[in-house]
Structure 1
Amino acid sequence: MKTVELSIMIIYLLFLIGLGLYSQRRISNSGSGVDDYYVAGRSIGTGVNSLAMLAALGSGGSFMAGAGTIWNLGFPFLAWMTVGSIVGFAISSILVAKPLRQSRKFTVSEFINDRYGGAFFKMAIPIVIIIGSAMYLMSQMTAGGLIASYVTGLTYEWGLIIIVLVFIFYVSLGGMLAVTWTNVLQGAMMVFLIAAIIFGAITNLPMPWSEFVVSATNENPALGAVGVTVPIAAYIGAFVTWAAAVCVTPHLVMRIFTATDVRSAKLSLNISMLIYGLLMLGAALIIVPFIPLLGTSVLESHASDMWMLLIADQFFGPVVMGIITAGIMAAVMSSTDALLLAVSSAFAYDLYKGVINPKASQKKILRVSMMFTWVIGIVVMLLTLNPPAFLIVLYTAAVGFMVSALFSPLVLGIWWKRANRTGAIAGLVVGATSFFVSFFVLTLPYNSEILVSLPLSLITMMVVSKLTEQPSQEMIDKMKDYHSDPSLS
């Protein structure tokens, strides 16, 4: 057991629980409980939202598992993925930030249902979000379990159970208000984490950096080679997935809904893009060459997703390592808490209120949301007791599924007047189905399924919309409101 590191971790987790209790009390006393719970009262400023967006995207996969993934799958694979994420922030700020923020909706599902109407989307979109977010949650919970095991000395399974129960507890209490406040802290901690490890790596270079990189590539010739560890289709698929992800992934889109206005939403997206790109680039270029120095026995006895933490352990004492461990946990928690909230809102707000009980009171909706947070959290935790390989690959597949199903109805619904309900239904069904067939039936390279499913979804929606009845004038007027009504921002 690492006593100092564990003590710092416990203090951090107790603070989060306290913040959840405070948020719950504030929401209970507020006249706008649902607004506070799901979109933090739409009052989050640019600086705060930038850190929160960074925290929501920066996860156990990207920051903790990145070094091991680069070593096993090559730098080109992660580079394409990271560049895709950076491009995704810019695309989102252009394509969806203004319409989504001006719509005054709470969720992606509510926005799409408002655009097209009908009962189908009230059922289908929450199901897509629950399935995709549950897959994403598995990767984050795995990382949390590994960290808890590292600091406590307990088995991975017990570490997972302990840390997941803490995650669920504070998210179920405080909703987006608690998630936003903790994400700001987590975003700041992630910046400190990566900066500290990069600084430690630079001050402990065993030789000039250029020679060190060459030495690492001699140890692992596939490190910088293109198409050796995975086919080039995997690079392109990872890029496309993350370039489209920020437009539709619920736990990222929810941050747009929390912004004070359209300009703040766009600025937050672009500031997050710059910080995220710099952190990932620094981590990849400076930290990865240290991996061979861990030794073969260490590398073989620890999951590759733990290697960055083991490298940092070579540079710092217990106190700094405690802070760094808390920072890595912050990266994990920042995605986990936002995902849990996205899933609970998909069920409670979109499915329960939208379909099962449209007359449900605010108090009832919040109670159902809290209960479902526990249900989905525990179910995913049980599935994660047997952890998947390569966290980044898993959560990219989860995002790919949601992009395949939701990108066409959302983006075409914003920008194409001819998009209608029938076409959107066809696009969603074909996108989701073709992704699952590609993932489970066909033998395709990592994360390349989206290269099949997304074009099929787009083409299907456009063709079906063209061949069926034009949207009503009411629908077209709604589109104009999304783009041009400044009073809603």
Structure 2
Amino acid sequence: MKFIEVTIIIFYILFCILLGIWAQKRISTSDSGVDNYYAAGRNVGTVANSLAILAALGSGGSFMAGPGSVWQLGIPFLTWMTVGSIVGFALASILVARPLRNSRKVTVPEFLNDRYGGNKIIKIAVPIVIILGSGMYLMSQMKAGGLITSYVTGLSYEWGLVVIALVFILYVSMGGMLAVTWTNLLQGSLMILITLSLFTACIIHLPTSWMDFFKESATRNPTLGTVGTTVPIVGYLGAFVTWATAVCITPHLVMRIFTSTDARSAKLSLNISMLIYGILMLGLTFLTAPFIGTFGEAVLQNYASDMWLLLIAESMFGPIMMGIIAAGIMAAVMSSTDSLLLAISSAVAYDLYKGVINPKANQKKTLFMSTVVTWIIGIVVMVLALNPPEYLVVLYTVQ
């Protein structure tokens, strides 16, 4: 067990749980508990929301699995995917931000239901699509959480998954979007900190110039920089289109628009987070991927590709910094997991239960249903994640 790393992560997790308890108390004493639970009171500022959006998108698949996926699938694939997500942010700021924020709704299905005059099919179908799609995405984040917990505690992947999944479920079920927003601020800041730290460390530890180092790595692994070797060229276009459209419609990202103070703030938040995300993802990929070639074949075979970033960091940092990095990667995982859990619970409790099954349900019943659903969905996905697909990035791109 890595005691220093474990201690840092425990303090981080306790902080998230305390935020959940604080948010629960605030919601329970508020007359606008539903707005607080699902939209964080609609008063999140531009800078705070930019960090929260960055945290929601910057998942375990982005920051933890990126370098390993690039080594296996090639830089062109991840580059097209990342550029697609950047384009998606711009489209969302132009096409989605203003109508959603000005609608005064709290969920995407509620907005669409109002937009199309209460169509019964839309009222039922949209929440179901959100539940299924977000559930698959959530499974990839659960896997990342299990891997990082296993790394710092020495537990098996399965027990690491169970431990961290219960933490995810606990603080989301207590505090909803209010708790998610405050934890996302910390998570977004941690993600920027560890990425910049890795940038600096990689530059310091370059054995030669970066260009020569990359060429050497590409010689060891010809698929690293070639086009069409591991993924058909049409697959690159598919990754681009998928992410350019996904950002505009992915519920756990779009829900952040409802939390903005106004439409202008929502637009700015999307574009600021777009710039930061693009720089961090592309920089992290191009700087860290060549270091994978320095590992022996035995190391690469004994560790899942989603763990290789941690191996790179471990070769450059001591225990204290590794604890911070592990907490930062955990933050990336938690930030997407909590947003996804909230998107699913709101689809079930607010859109299906209150919107279709029991329209007369009061605030107390709706919030109680959200809590119950969060636990049920969280545990079901946790069980499914005990035997997940191999690549995190591919898992949530193709689902």
TM-score, normalisation: structure 1? 0.81
Which of these two proteins has the greater Rg computed from alpha carbons? 1
- State yes or no: 1:240 paired with 2:238: no
Q: Which residue is 2:69 aligned to?
A: 69
Report the CA distance between 1:118 and its aligned residue. Answer: 2.0
Write the distance in 2 (CA, Å) between the matches of 1:243 and 1:317. Answer: 38
Secondary structure of 1:387's aligned partner: coil
How far apart, CA to CA, are the structure 2 residues paired with 1:298 and 1:141?
24
Q: Partner residue of 2:337?
A: 336
Matches within 5 A, 1:45-444: 45-116=45-116, 117-398=118-399
Q: Shift of the alpha carbon at 1:21?
A: 0.3
Which structure 1 residue ranges, 4+ long, deviate > 4 Å from structure 2?
none
- Aligned to 2:294, what secondary structure does the other structure show? helix
CA deviations on 1:218-244 (whole Å, 9 max, x unpaired) are 011111111111101111111111101
For residues 435-482 of structure 1, give each alpha carbon's deviation from its aligned partner in whole angstroms, at most 9, with x where no partner exists: xxxxxxxxxxxxxxxxxxxxxxxxxxxxxxxxxxxxxxxxxxxxxxxx
**SS of aligned partner of 2:273:** helix
Q: CA deviation at 1:387?
A: 2.0
Give me the whole-angstrom Cα distance separating, in 2, the residues matched to 1:281 and 1:391.
Answer: 17
Tell me the secondary structure at the aligned position of residue 222 of structure 1.
helix
- Alpha-carbon distance in 2 for matches of 1:225, 1:138: 30
Q: Work out the CA distance in 2 between the residues paired with 1:223 and 1:293.
A: 14
Task: Give CA-to-partner distance per residue, 1:251-290, whole Å, 9 cap, x none.
Answer: 0000001000010000000000000000011111111000
Q: 1:207: how far off?
A: 1.4
Quick one: which amino acid aligns to residue 119 of structure 2?
A: G
**1:314-339: CA deviation from partner (whole Å, max 9, x where unpaired):** 00000000000000000001000000
Q: Which amino acid aligns with 2:110?
A: E
Deviation at 1:388, TM superposition (A): 1.1
Q: Secondary structure at the match of 1:18?
A: helix
The separation in 2 between residues aligned to 1:238 and 1:281, in whole angstroms, is 15
Task: Give me the whole-angstrom Cα distance separating, in 2, the residues matched to 1:134 and 1:235.
Answer: 24
Q: Distance in 1 between matches of 2:99 and 2:354?
A: 23
CA apart distance, 1:197: 1.0
Partners of 1:344 and 1:193 in 2: CA distance: 31
For 2:340, what is the secondary structure of its paired residue?
Answer: helix
In the TM superposition, residue 245 of structure 1 has moved relative to its aligned partner by 1.1
Deviations 1:171-211 (A, max 9, x none): 00000000000001000000011111111111111112111
Alignment: residue pair count: 398
Q: Deviations over 1:10-36 (max 9, x none)?
A: 010011001100000000011100000
Deviation at 1:397, TM superposition (A): 2.1
Q: In the aligned structure 2, how far is the partner of 1:42 from the partner of 1:237?
A: 35
C-alpha separation between the residues in 1 aligned to 2:345 and 2:398? 21
Alignment of 1:22-33 (within 5 A): 22-33=22-33
Aligned counterpart, 1:459: none
Q: Which amino acid aligns with 2:161?
A: L
- For residues 38 and 14 of structure 2, the distance between their equivalents in structure 1, rounded to whole angstroms, comes to 23
Structure 2-normalised TM-score? 0.99
CA distance in structure 1 between the partners assigned to 2:106 and 2:288 by the alignment: 40
Alpha-carbon offset, residue 354 of structure 1: 0.6
Q: Show structure 1 runs of 5+ residues with no match.
A: 399-489
* Residue identity opposite 1:382 in structure 2: V
Q: Percent identity?
A: 68
d(CA) in 2 for partners of 1:78 and 1:253?
A: 23
The Cα shift of 1:298 comes to 1.0
| One-letter amino acid of the counterpart of residue 270, structure 2 | L
Distance in 1 separating the partners of 2:254 and 2:40: 13
Distance in 2 (CA, whole Å) between partners of 1:397 and 1:249 is 14
Q: Whole-Å Cα distance in 2 between the matches of residues 233 and 356 of structure 1?
A: 43
Corresponding residue SS for 2:224: coil
Structure 1 residue aligned with 2:43: 43
Deviations 1:364-392 (A, max 9, x none): 00000000000000000000001211111
Gaps of 5+ in 2: none
Q: CA deviation at 1:297?
A: 1.1
Work out which structure has the larger RCO, using CA pairs closer than 8 Å and 6 or more positions apart in sequence: 2
Tell me the SS of whatever aligns to 1:226.
coil
